[in-house]
Structure formats: C-alpha cells, structure tokens
Amino acid sequence: MRVSILGCGHVGLVTGACLADIGHEVTCTDNDAAKMGILAQGRLPIYEPGLGSVVDRNLRAQRLSFTSDAGEAVRFGDVIFICVGTPPLPNGEADLAAMDATAKLIVTEARTPKLVIEKSTVPAQTGQRLKQALATYARHSISKFSFRVASNPEFLREGTAVFDFLHPERIVIGVEEEAAEIQLRKIYLPILEQRFSCPLHESTCPETPAPVLLVTDINSSELIKHACNTFLALKISYANLLADICEKTSANVDQVIEAMGLDSRIGPGFLRPGLGFGGFCLPKDIQAFTHVGERAGVDVALLHAIEGINRRRVKCLMQKLHQALWVVKHKSVAVLGLSFKPDTDDIRLAPALELIRQILDAGGDVKAFDPQAMEKAKVELPTITYCESAYQAAQETEALIVATEWEEFQHLDWALIRQTMSRPLILDGRNFLQADAMRALGFEYYGVGRPLEEPTREAIA
Ligand code: UGA
C-alpha cells in the first residue's frame, strides 16, 4: 500500500520506517527544514536504537523516501498518517494547530480520495473536529475528493520503539466505516500475523503473544491512548508515594514493590520509584487528559494528585542532597544521565535537567555525563561542565547523583570512582545501584525509599 507520513518526529520516523520495512511504499515529510536537511544527508535527527538500520535498508530498497515537498507527500499515499506534534499550550491543553494546518494541506494537495489516520496523540473528539475541518476546507477548495478519518494511537516507548512497532501487544484502530477498517487491517497484516523479516532479530524473534487488533469507535480509540499513559503515570506516582512512606517508616520499597508486582492484578511494570516521569509523553498527556476531564465536568482530583507527586520528586532529591552536604554552595556535584530515560537522547522535561537547575540555583557546580544526550543538553544548560566519561564527571566531586539509569553505569569501576571523588557520596535517583555493594565499597549511599543501612539478618529475625 502507498503510505504518506506527515510529521517526522519520533513517532512519524519510526512509523514510516517500520511500515516500509513490512513491505509498504512510504514517503515522509516534515515542515522543519533543519530536520529534513539531516534526513537528506542520510542521518537521523534522533537517537533511537535500531532505527538507523531500518531507515537505511528501506531507503536502499526504495520503499522509503523523504521529501520536503509536502504536496508531493500528500499526493503519494492512499493513506495518510498524521504524526505532527500536539505540544501543550501554556494551560496544559493540547495545541492542535498543526493538526488543523495538516487538514488544510491535505484538502489543498490531494488529487485522489484518502484515508486520513490520526497517529499523533490527541484528546477525545479530535477525530470529529478533523472530519469537520476536512469538510470545511473542501467546501472552499477546487478539488472534490472524499476523506475518511480513522484513529490509530501509537504505544511506542522511546528506546524500544522499533521493537514496539513490530512486536506490539495490541493495535488499536478507531474507525467509522468498514472500508477504513479493511484498509487498516491490510496495513498491519504482516505485523498481526508476525510475518516479516525482522530487522531486529537475525534468526528468530523472542516469543511474544500474537498482537491483538482492537477495533473501536474513534472517540474511544483517542481516549485509550490518554488512558494508558495516565495509568502508567499513576503507577509511577504511586510507587513514589510508597517510597516516601517507606523512608519514614524504615521499610524497603524494593521489597514492597516486588511483592506487589507478584500479584497478577497489579503487575510489576512501572512501579520503579525515583526522580519521577519525564519526557514529552506522560507529562503532557496527563495534562491534556486533565483538560478533557475538566471540560467534560468530571472530578479529576486523582489526575492532579499524580502530577503533584511527580512535581515534588526532584525537590525530594534536593532535600537529600542538602541534608548530606549541609551546604551545596560551591560544592561540585556529578550528575550521571541527562536524558529523560535511558536509550534515548531526548531531554524534553527530563528530571535530570530540572535537578541540575536546582543544584545551580543552590550555588553548586555540576559536572555531567550522558552517553547520548549531551549535545542536546548543552543547548538547554550551557554553563555546566560536560565530561567525556562518568569517571571524569565523578573526579573531585563531593556527591554523585544517578539521574538516568543507563545500563553502562552498572558496569563502571565503582571502586575507582570512589577513590577519585572528594567525598564518596552517592544519591541514586533511580534505585539503580546495589545499595549494599556500594556501601561495601565505602560509599555513603542513599537511594529512594530504601533503608539508610542494610538491616542485619538478626535484626530482621
Ligand atoms: C510512553 C509510554 O510508555 C508509551 O507506551 C507511549 O507510546 C509513549 O509514552 C507515547 O505517548 O508516545 P516514553 O515516553 O518513551 O513512553 O517513556 P516511558 O518508558 O513510559 O517512561 C516515561 C518516564 O517514566 C521516564 O522518565 C521514566 O524514567 C519514568 N519511569 C518509568 C519511572 O520513573 N518509573 C517507572 O517504573 C517507569
């Protein structure tokens, strides 16, 4: 099938490249000239494991192309995926200006009927507004073609987006007519049947349950996306609330969460306490969803509480830093990890960046290291010292904070780090390191919701 992708952000790029990889002909466009320039040079504007090789092999197979000519992109596909940004307005509501501009573009440039699919995360009832916008622009246009609208939310996690696209747990499609459902089923057939040559796994893919295709109405499909992200945020904030209670009661949050996760009704995922959720999805979606609820006249106190807990996470860690150092002013602090989560260079709403701002406000100096996100961070925080390695960042500092749990930090020579620090103090903002192992190496170690000392077996008995 011929597919157009409007918007080459994280979602658009992964969707375009993976749809080409399963056999469709795909062309992608974006109105950001700088981004299109990078793509034209065969480079990627984002770091996403596995994406580069999928893009390469499909460019070579001529199933994937990028064009700066938005009209050409619109005319190319039988189906158009709208993957434009829906950033928050100052009041937290989703800004749908790019959706509206895209509707106008489609009507102006289309020369054949199209199935227009919302892939961007949007509030419930956006599909209805999109249909109206397409119809309104069509009335004033010379071209008279019919446009169907469907919703197909994405559940891609940054860092594992290619895997998530090709091996999803579920694919949700919100449709109004059978014809749209048939087209969407056809697009996803290779994935539903897990019948494609997987670019991630050379011989056999890991055993995963067959993806479920869920067909809903458009409003429900839009709402499912917000409902999922908000529920994930709820779990994280709940874990953080538990961690705070554990700290005050000398309980161990690791053990509490392990036991909770063994209950299949609760499940172990998204219960890791720490610096809280960042990125451009969970924080913005919860705000947009809160607006949807408020507009609908529903009590959304729960959603405000999730956000409130998350907002306090960095402050909580700052309190620990103040407690340990007494005075932060003129002290040198190492921060390991800048991206909002590991395996991405995305720093949007990253807790690490807010933490660094607060250390600077307190008069401290920061030496930072991140395996991928330093170039982007330099634009946001130009005055701190960026280091070539975690070792360099730790040297002669009086505290080291783990802000993002990059796997490679597990394998550092922590004994060496201990020797080079002015004071061997670790604040583990992600409960990523083994507390007892760090203490055995001579570190003063503070995690989140973890006891200050490992209790002896006798004490437990
Ligand atoms: C999230 C969702 O997980 C995806 O399903 C969704 O498709 C995507 O948003 C989106 O809307 O596009 P993502 O933003 O990539 O994906 O990141 P997550 O893995 O959800 O993590 C979000 C934040 O929560 C990170 O800052 C992470 O460090 C934090 N987190 C996650 C915790 O603090 N504790 C946890 O237990 C899990």
Digit-coded pLDDT (tens) for 207-244: 888 899 999 999 999 999 999 999 999 999 999 999 99
pLDDT of residue 7: 97
Ligand 1 pocket member 309 (CB < 6 A): no
pLDDT of residue 453: 73
Ligand 1 pocket member 154 (CB < 6 A): yes
Digit-coded pLDDT (tens) for 48-101: 999 999 999 999 999 999 999 999 999 999 999 999 999 999 998 999 999 999
Ligand 1 pocket member 155 (CB < 6 A): yes
Write down the pTM of the prediction.
Answer: 0.94
Q: What's the average model confidence in pLDDT over 37-47?
A: 91
Digit-coded pLDDT (tens) for 301-349: 999 999 999 999 999 999 999 999 999 999 999 999 999 999 999 999 9
Compute, in angstroms, the gap from residue 421 CA to the centroid of ligand 1. Answer: 32
pLDDT of residue 145: 78
pLDDT of residue 63: 96
Digit-coded pLDDT (tens) for 272-309: 999 999 999 999 999 999 999 999 999 999 999 999 99
pLDDT of residue 40: 85
Ligand 1 pocket member 30 (CB < 6 A): no
Digit-coded pLDDT (tens) for 127-186: 999 999 999 998 887 767 789 999 999 999 999 999 999 999 999 999 999 999 999 999
Compute, in angstroms, the gap from residue 268 CA to the centroid of ligand 1. Answer: 14
Examine the pLDDT at 459 and tell me if it is beyond 50.
no
- Nearest ligand 1 atom to the CA of 235 is 36
pLDDT of residue 456: 52
Exactly one of 83, 281, 316, 387 is catalytic; which is it?
Answer: 281
281 is a catalytic site residue: yes
What SS3 string covers the chain?
Answer: CEEEEECCCHHHHHHHHHHHHCCCEEEEECCCHHHHHHHHCCCCCCCCCCHHHHHHHHHHCCCEEECCCHHHHHHHCCEEEECCCCCECCCCCECCHHHHHHHHHHHHHCCCCEEEEECCCCCCCHHHHHHHHHHHHHHCCCCCCCEEEEECCCCCCCCCHHHHHHCCCEEEEECCCHHHHHHHHHHHHHHHCCCCCCCCCCCCCCCCCCCEEEEECHHHHHHHHHHHHHHHHHHHHHHHHHHHHHHHHCCCHHHHHHHHHCCCCCCCCCCCCCCCCCCCCHHHHHHHHHHHHHHCCCCCHHHHHHHHHHHCHHHHHHHHHHHHHCCCCCCEEEEECCCCCCCCCCCCCCHHHHHHHHHHHCCCEEEEECCCCHHHHHHHCCCCEECCCHHHHHCCCCEEEECCCCHHHHHCCHHHHHHHCCCCEEEECCCCCCHHHHHHCCCEEECCCCCCCCCCHHHHC
Residue nearest to atom 7 of ligand 1 (CA): 155
Confidence of residue 267 (pLDDT cuts 50, 70, 90): very high
Digit-coded pLDDT (tens) for 377-391: 999 999 999 999 999
- Nearest ligand 1 atom to the CA of 121 is 11
Ligand 1 pocket member 281 (CB < 6 A): yes
